Amino acid sequence: MADLAPGVPEAHRRLAAVLISQKGYDRAVKACDRALRIAENAEDWMTRADALRIWADEVRVHDRAMGRRKLREGAEASGKAIDLDPGFALAHGVRGALLVDPGRAEEGLQALEVACRLDPSDQWSRYEKGRALMESGRAAEAVDVFEQAAAGEGELAWSGCAGRVLALRRSGRTEEAQRAKAEYEEKGGAAGRLHLARGLARLDAVDEALEQFWGAIQVDPALADAHNELAWHQAAIAESNERTLVRCTRHANLAMALANEEQARANYCDTLGWIWYLRALGRRRLRQTGAGGRRRTSARFTRVQQAMLQRAKRYLNRACRALEVDWLIRYHLRVVERTIRLYGKVAPRGRSAPPARSGWTGIEESFLITRELRTGPRRQQKARRSSPRRSRVRAWD
């Protein structure tokens, strides 16, 4: 599209919208930059800010510092869009959503109120206003706002339902929250529970979201998305708990078996690859060794862990071939490849492993450098001593 008309800003703008829908946020930002170099436009600045907002939301689980940087860049871009067109309602809404996340909830709330006033029919800005009220500790006011957002249609309406349930609970109206939750569960069936779970996850209510994912699976055991997203969110909070990660692997494998579309199967490959990566880190052993009178942290990967990392890489490569635009899949693949490159060698028996190398940020640093993670169960340690080949097989039971 943009290749056919490189001098037309509209072509780059449309390409950016397509890339955002495909989760290629980094490429969407570059497309907006190309459009802005041709002619500065409020809509291009707003699109750039929106891409950075979603990008920050995706990356904050893995790298909080990068997430904060993207939020700052997005706030600057949305401010430029508002300077060019003060009546641009969506630009005010995007700016408000960007300011809520770093803790500037009151400032974000003011921008969202302007957006709702300029465009009263904008369901998304109304939902974000409810989220800002929740962040400000004004849950009682958020109830009515979320109720208005829930009156629409589509997945955003289910996010409004989830926000209403949480706002009722946090404002002390527990019985009303239970009744509303039961009403939404009965109305939507398995698909409704799935959408409700996604809405709860967006509001960082992970425990409630996991409960709804389980509920969706109980209503419809063949719902592949529920198995996949249950595995993803459970693995994100499991850290190094091997038993939990094994259960997540089973759910992700089941989602793969139930998938009917190639694109969905590629997303499930991404989930499986990341879970295998976390399982490899969960078996990583950190120990203190003395060298020249100083103590240092040393790390080594067993052959079982190496096999897990290679399996993670295979799944992520498969996902990347099908969804090459998706930024998160490419990020996961880079992390796994870097881990293999830096820590992929097995230390010889009876000799110290090479020291752990620095340079990691976010979740990789917490897993790879500073945290002592669990080794495998006792029976697997015994199996490794008796037969390395046997241990590789048992690690995937």
Confidence band for 344, pLDDT divided at 50, 70 and 90: low
- The string of pLDDT tens digits covering residues 241-291 is 888 999 999 999 999 999 888 878 899 999 999 999 999 887 654 433 444
Which pLDDT score, from 0 to 100, does residue 284 have?
A: 58
Residue 380 scores a pLDDT above 70: no
Separation CA 269–CA 238 (nearest Å): 19
142 phi/psi in degrees, rounded to 5:
-70, -25
DSSP 369: I
Q: Is the dihedral of CA 204, 28, 23, 341 positive or negative?
A: negative
Structural contact between residues 387 and 300, judged by C-beta atoms closer than 8 angstroms: no
- Looking at the chain, the whole-number percentage of residues with pLDDT higher than 90 is 54
Instruction: Report the CATH fold assignment for 1-136.
Output: 1.25.40
* pTM score: 0.78
270/196 Cα distance (integer angstroms): 23
Residue whose token pair is 């998160």: 328
DSSP alpha helix (H) spans, the chain: 9-21, 25-38, 42-59, 64-84, 89-100, 105-118, 123-135, 139-150, 155-170, 174-202, 206-219, 224-238, 242-258, 262-282, 303-322, 327-343, 362-365, 378-386, 388-394
Measured distance CA(134)–CA(166) in Å, rounded: 9
Label residue 365 left, alpha or beta by phi (over 0 means left) and psi (-120 to 50 means alpha): alpha
C-alpha span between 291 and 366 (Å, rounded): 24
Would you list the DSSP string of 41-110? Answer: -HHHHHHHHHHHHHHHHHHTTT-HHHHHHHHHHHHHHHHHHHHH-TT-HHHHHHHHHHHHTTT-HHHHHH
Give yes or no for residue 92 having a pLDDT over 60.
Answer: yes
**Model confidence band, residue 5 (pLDDT cutoffs 50, 70, 90):** low
Mean pLDDT value across residues 94-99: 92
At 137, the pLDDT band (50, 70, 90 cuts) reads confident
Residue spans per domain, the chain = 1-136
376-382, long-range: CB < 8 A, 24+ apart: 376/242, 376/283, 376/304, 377/242, 380/304
The dihedral formed by the CA atoms of 28, 32, 34 and 36, expressed in degrees to the nearest 10? -170
Does the pLDDT of residue 375 top 80, yes or no? no
For 171-194, write each residue's pLDDT tens digit: 999 999 999 999 998 888 899 999
- Please determine, for residue 39, whether its predicted confidence score (pLDDT) is greater than 80: yes
The letter for the amino acid at 394 is: R
Kindly state the average pLDDT of the residues 314-337.
93
